[in-house]
Structure 1
């Protein structure tokens, strides 16, 4: 009888431990993700959308792992550039000048070049930065934002206004982050690596 009781206790402890591990492996609201204050579904964002700024060093580092995140989640990420201060607005102007002409988010290589041009550092002159930005565009047969005509400027400002509306409604105050299904925001600081972030994104896509 004692042996049976001991075996029963061992099985119960094992099951409890397994349940505990199962629960702890799931993303937790408030730690790994949070619900947005507004539903952004009317903007028809891709299922996974990165919110970023070309001026942000952390965003530049995140760009390096975006291809891996896309593989791990089997998703092509969209992008929204924040506009919450003057430097972000300039970055948004540059980013949406590219997206507007391409009809989609720039590829990984172009994004890396845009980050490098915008973040040249204090040692670079304004003319050197402008030349670097011009080169990113003209090398791809695109028009530099500095050479836009009046009609192109109107289209650009319209795209920037949409981005601003999204940022305000979602109350985005730090980047980089990810919006999933237009309803949830991934808390990137609540993850240890890209595999961890991908697990939360997959969880939200599958369950929400």
Structure 2
């Protein structure tokens, strides 16, 4: 009976292993991904560098959701907001948006409030000029303005903002545009013209397992 159970488990695993090998054979170093001269992270980590002002980043949000649904349970997902876009009212305003994102994270409402900022910029075609506009966006989405102001000046949120900036500084030489993904600290996927949305997701998830 024990031998039968082992054989059954092996029979179930073989198709999964074959699938993983097939995916690996599909992606070529130099064509579909780059290996960066950086230290690997201590655990599988997918980091997305993005900007709220970037239309490609906005359109990439469904793909990001798909990545999160398909990545391993032990994989971390980091979202890093950049502040070097030529649009967006300059670095100070983009830094304010980073702080707002961290406020949303502290409130454990990241997805909802990130979506609200994206919507304000790309659907309502409205301008974000600073924290006042971001506070209003959050208020419309149910965040108490006093709580917003309290978190904006809190040690925890400002520490997260500094960490976000360090992650930009550490990989700035690799960030020629957004969205850019860094996988496990050393792999950068390259999305070719013929790739489908599923291909992009599969490539990123596969790299996270390397």
Q: 1:62: Cα distance to partner? A: 0.4
- Flag the structure with larger Rg: 1
**Structure 1: unaligned runs, 5 residues or longer:** 1-21
What corresponds to 2:137 in structure 1?
136
- Normalization by structure 1: what TM-score? 0.66
What corresponds to 1:202 in structure 2?
205
What corresponds to 1:60 in structure 2?
58
**Structure 2: unaligned runs, 5 residues or longer:** 1-21
CA RMSD in angstroms comes to: 3.7
- The secondary structure found in structure 2 opposite 1:80 is strand
Indicate which of 43, 48, 69 corresponds to 2:46. Answer: 48
Q: 1:91: Cα distance to partner? A: 2.9
Q: 1:160: Cα distance to partner? A: 4.7
What corresponds to 2:17 in structure 1?
none
What corresponds to 1:165 in structure 2?
169
What corresponds to 1:80 in structure 2?
80
Rounded to whole Å, the distance in 1 between the matches of 2:37 and 2:109 is 28
- Out of 27-36 and 156-165, give the one that drifted further: 156-165
Rounded to whole Å, the distance in 2 between the matches of 1:153 and 1:202 is 29
Cα distance change of structure 1 residues 188 and 23 upon mapping to structure 2, 3 Å threshold: closer
- The secondary structure found in structure 2 opposite 1:64 is helix
Cα distance change of structure 1 residues 190 and 184 upon mapping to structure 2, 3 Å threshold: farther
Cα distance change of structure 1 residues 157 and 201 upon mapping to structure 2, 3 Å threshold: closer
CA contact (8 A) 1:48 1:76 kept: yes
CA contact (8 A) 2:67 2:204 kept: no
- The secondary structure found in structure 2 opposite 1:140 is coil
Q: 1:58: Cα distance to partner? A: 0.2
* Deviation digits for residues 93-151 of structure 1 (CA, Å, limit 9, x no counterpart): 31333325634885333221111223443xx4667x86652233232346557x94496
